[in-house]
């Protein structure tokens, strides 16, 4: 017996990405639903097993930190893709470009005139108390005025079916390699459906990333030297660092592989001698980049790197200091930032956000912790959060004290009715599971948005936690053109 969509139990009050009512698929998903509905139990099971085998064969893994140990785990993957119409994605893509453009103008302003503060758009104390503001970057002029060249923006659909921005990741956003690998897995597991449905490709990302990085080169050259700077094999995203370097044809290096010469240029140590480096795609946090400027005990960075960057002799992506906008308090001001710099209305709205530094808003948060999601301003990966409806009284009391002790460090948002999508459970049953989406946006002279992004899905029934480090999984994301006329 195949998947019976008439028995698919929609979660009341939630927007489902594939099924609009029992037995009825949304227009972009109809061909997929019909195809899956025609597969037998054994066929579905064999496709699922094939996906697991493919993941092992390809070595797709991620690292979980547990009790002081680093545990590599196979990438958790669901074979039923998430589908978005191309018309919807066109609007969303424009909104993501708009957002990153404004954020880069904001960052550049903060390290120069700070007009956004002088004009009262963002309070001065938000900047002064930002742990990611780097005074060492004041006055630097990165090429094209761009600081955050690669951004992973998390977006979600609420019960109304509209996309909302949940947060912006502007420091060292990860996950794009899994987006690419998800597509490779699906093409091996369900190759026939790609002949029937017009699915936008995602494989051009490494080329787009390379071209963007190459455009940052301080030297005019047809073949700038680009390297990916990794903290090393024990980093949770090392798989991605190696993957992207290989796909771009760039060298994967650690800090010890680079040095800054007397001419304040960066060089890579090779068998043939020193080779000048033009662009560094760094996957190391600011504080470990250069022990001369930041953490003096860092063994991961390159002494003198900031001198070389400030002189304009090497490009860094993302630029140091870009994380000043990767702050959930700043997030609350992004709609105003877009209006201020671009004189445009935001194309994608924010989620309603309460700022705990504000006395009135903090009082509301403290009185409604059981209904809200509370987040620290500068954590990532789902750590340090309180999901009110799923918390205990003891946890809420402890969080209330954290908020009172450091209100600047916390924001709160309503518990969203995160959209769902059918996810395979058992041999032939699909159940709704909550998910989000992380598209990746590139910006230099021009901008680029992935067609779709990394869909993360909560693998447990009713759970809102989608992070892989917290037990979530992933799906391939299909941007489907319903006007292409494929049959």
Kindly write down the DSSP assignment for every residue of 389-402, as one continuous string.
GG--HHHHHHHHHH
Residues facing 66 on adjacent strands:
69
How much is the mean pLDDT over the chain? 91
Q: Would residue 33 count as lying in a domain?
A: no
pLDDT exceeds 70 at position 178 = yes
Instruction: Tell me which residue of 176, 385, 218, 222 sits closest to 311, measured CA to CA.
Output: 218
**Strands 473-480 and 77-85: what pairing?**
parallel
pLDDT of res. 82:
96
Residue 282 token pair? 């760094």
- DSSP codes, 114-159: -HHHHTTSS-HHHHHT-TT--GGGTT---GGG-S--EEEEEEEE-T
Tokens at 309, concatenated = 């960057």
1 pLDDT above the threshold of 60: no
Which helix (H) or strand (E) element contains residue 385?
Answer: none
Neighbours of 211 (CB within 10 A): 15
Cα within 13 Å of Cα(157), Cβ side: 26
Q: Is the pLDDT of residue 129 over 90?
A: no
Same domain for 231 and 154: yes
Strand partners, 355: 411
- pLDDT tens readout for residues 305-320: 999 999 999 999 999 9
Do 232 and 277 reside in the same domain of the chain? yes
Residues 385 and 240 in one domain: no
Say which CATH number the domain at 108 has.
3.40.50.11290
**Count of other CB atoms within 10 angstroms of residue 315:** 27
Residues 338 and 362 in one domain: no
Q: What is the C-alpha to C-alpha distance for residues 316 and 306, in angstroms, rounded to an integer?
A: 9
Q: How many residues does the chain have?
A: 487
Range of weakest confidence among 61-65, 112-116, 252-256, 299-303: 61-65
Domain count, the chain: 2
Residue 9 lies in a domain: no
Beta strand 273-276 pairing with 266-270: antiparallel
Q: Is the pLDDT of residue 70 over 60?
A: no
Q: Give the model's pLDDT for residue 485.
A: 47
Q: Give the range of the structural domain holding residue 151, as residue numbers without chain letter.
A: 92-162+200-342
Confidence of residue 69 (pLDDT cuts 50, 70, 90): low
CA–CA separation, 318 and 102 (whole Å): 16
How many whole angstroms separate alpha carbon 191 and alpha carbon 228? Answer: 33
DSSP 427: T
CATH value at residue 407: 3.30.1490.270
* Within a domain: 291: yes
Q: Is residue 184 part of a domain?
A: no
Number of H helices, E strands in the chain: 13, 24
**Which region, left, alpha or beta, applies to residue 175 given φ > 0 means left and ψ of -120 to 50 means alpha?**
left
466 close to 472: Cβ distance less than 8 angstroms: yes
Identify the residue with better confidence: 193 or 95: 95
> What kind and span of H or E run contains 188?
helix 176-189
Q: For 111-135, what is the mean pLDDT? A: 94
Residue 276 region, left (φ>0) first, then alpha (ψ -120 to 50), else beta?
beta
Average pLDDT of the segment spanning 185-213: 94
The predicted structure's pLDDT at residue 18:
95
Distance in angstroms (rounded) separating the CA atoms of residues 1 and 200: 31
Q: Judge whether residue 133 has pLDDT over 90.
A: yes
The DSSP string of 358-369 is SHHHHHHHHHTT
Of 342, 370, 392, at which residue does a domain stop?
A: 342
State yes or no: pLDDT of 149 exceeds 80.
Answer: yes
Q: How many CB atoms lie within 10 A of CB 54?
A: 18
The answer to whether position 458 is within a domain reads no
Whether residue 151 is found in the same domain as residue 228 = yes
309 shares a domain with 383: no
Q: Percent of the chain scored above 70 by pLDDT? A: 94
Mean pLDDT score, 73-77: 74
Among 285, 314, 342, give the residue marking a domain's end.
342
Average pLDDT (326-348) is 96
What average pLDDT does this structure show over 16-31?
Answer: 94
Mean pLDDT to the nearest integer, 80-106: 97
Tell me what the mean pLDDT of segment 359-383 comes to: 86
Does 111 fall in a domain? Answer: yes
Domain shared by 262 and 361, yes or no: no
Average of per-residue pLDDT across 264-286:
97
Residue 434 confidence (pLDDT) above 90: yes
Pair 407, 297 in one domain? no
Whether the predicted pLDDT of 41 surpasses 90: no
From residue 432, give the alpha-carbon distance in Å to each of 135, 421, 439, 465: 47, 5, 22, 14
Q: Are residues 336 and 368 both part of a single domain?
A: no
Whether residues 323 and 371 fall in one domain: no
Report the distance separating Cα 151 and Cα 439, nearest Å: 8
Task: Flag the least confident range among 50-54, 66-70, 162-166, 294-298.
Answer: 66-70
Same domain membership, residue 155 and residue 284: yes
pTM: 0.93
| Whether pLDDT at 390 is above 80 | yes
On whether residue 286 sits in a domain, the answer given is yes
Q: What is the pLDDT, as a whole number, of residue 110?
A: 97
Residue 67 confidence (pLDDT): 44
| Per-residue pLDDT, 486 | 43
Q: What is the mean pLDDT of residues 266-293?
A: 97
Distance of CA 211 to the CA centre of its chain: 20
Range from 60-74, 176-190, 249-263, 415-429 carrying the lowest mean pLDDT? 60-74
For the stretch 236-263, pLDDT in tens is 889 899 999 999 999 999 999 999 999 9
- Same domain as 368, residue 279: no
pLDDT of residue 425: 85
Q: Of 368, 397, 414, which residue constitutes the final position of a domain?
A: 414
Residue 74's pLDDT is what? 66
Does residue 117 fall inside a structural domain? yes
């Amino acid at each position: 017996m195949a998947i019976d969509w008439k028995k698919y139990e929609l979660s009341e009050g939630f927007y489902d990405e594939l099924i609009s009512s029992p037995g009825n698929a949304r227009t972009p998903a109809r061909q997929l639903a019909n195809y899956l509905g025609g597969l037998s139990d054994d066929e579905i099971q064999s496709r699922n097993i094939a996906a697991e085998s493919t993941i092992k064969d390809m070595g797709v893994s991620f690292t979980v930190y547990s009790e002081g140990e680093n545990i590599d785990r196979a990438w958790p993957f669901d074979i039923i893709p998430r589908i978005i119409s191309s018309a919807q994605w066109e609007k969303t893509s424009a909104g993501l470009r708009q957002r990153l453009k404004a954020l880069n103008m904001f960052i550049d302003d903060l390290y120069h005139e700070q007009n956004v503060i002088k004009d009262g758009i963002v309070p001065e104390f938000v900047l002064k108390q930002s742990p990611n503001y780097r005074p060492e970057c004041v006055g630097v002029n990165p090429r094209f005025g761009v600081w955050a060249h690669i951004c992973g923006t998390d977006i979600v659909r609420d019960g109304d079916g509209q996309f909302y921005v949940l947060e912006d990741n502007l420091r060292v956003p990860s996950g794009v390699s899994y987006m690419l690998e998800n597509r490779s897995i699906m093409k091996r597991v369900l190759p026939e459906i790609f002949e029937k449905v017009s699915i936008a490709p995602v494989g051009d990302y490494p080329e787009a990333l390379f071209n963007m990085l190459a455009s940052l080169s301080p030297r005019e050259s047809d073949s700038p030297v680009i390297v990916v700077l990794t903290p090393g094999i024990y980093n949770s995203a090392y798989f991605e660092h190696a993957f992207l370097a290989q796909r771009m044809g760039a060298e994967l290096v650690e800090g010890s592989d680079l040095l800054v010469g007397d001419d304040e240029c960066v060089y890579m140590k090779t068998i043939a001698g020193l080779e000048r480096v033009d662009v560094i795609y760094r996957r190391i946090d600011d504080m470990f980049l250069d022990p001369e400027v930041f953490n003096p005990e860092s063994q991961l960075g390159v002494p003198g790197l900031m001198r070389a960057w400030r002189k304009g002799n090497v490009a860094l992506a993302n630029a140091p200091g870009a994380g000043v906008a990767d702050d959930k308090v700043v997030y609350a001001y992004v709609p105003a930032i877009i209006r201020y710099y671009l004189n445009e209305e935001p194309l994608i709205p924010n989620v309603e956000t309460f700022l705990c530094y504000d006395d009135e808003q903090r009082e509301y948060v403290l009185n409604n912790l059981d209904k809200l999601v509370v987040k620290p301003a500068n954590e990532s990966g789902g750590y340090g959060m309180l999901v009110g409806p799923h918390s205990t009284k003891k946890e809420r009391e402890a969080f209330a004290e954290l908020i009172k002790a450091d209100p600047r460090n916390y924001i709160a948002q309503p518990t969203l009715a995160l959209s769902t999508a059918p996810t395979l459970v058992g041999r032939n049953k699909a159940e709704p599971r909550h998910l989000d989406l992380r598209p990746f946006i590139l910006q230099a002279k021009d901008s680029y948005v992935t067609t779709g992004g990394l869909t993360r899905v909560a693998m447990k029934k009713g759970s809102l936690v989608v992070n892989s480090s917290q037990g979530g999984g992933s799906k391939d994301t299909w941007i489907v053109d319903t006007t292409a006329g494929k049959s």
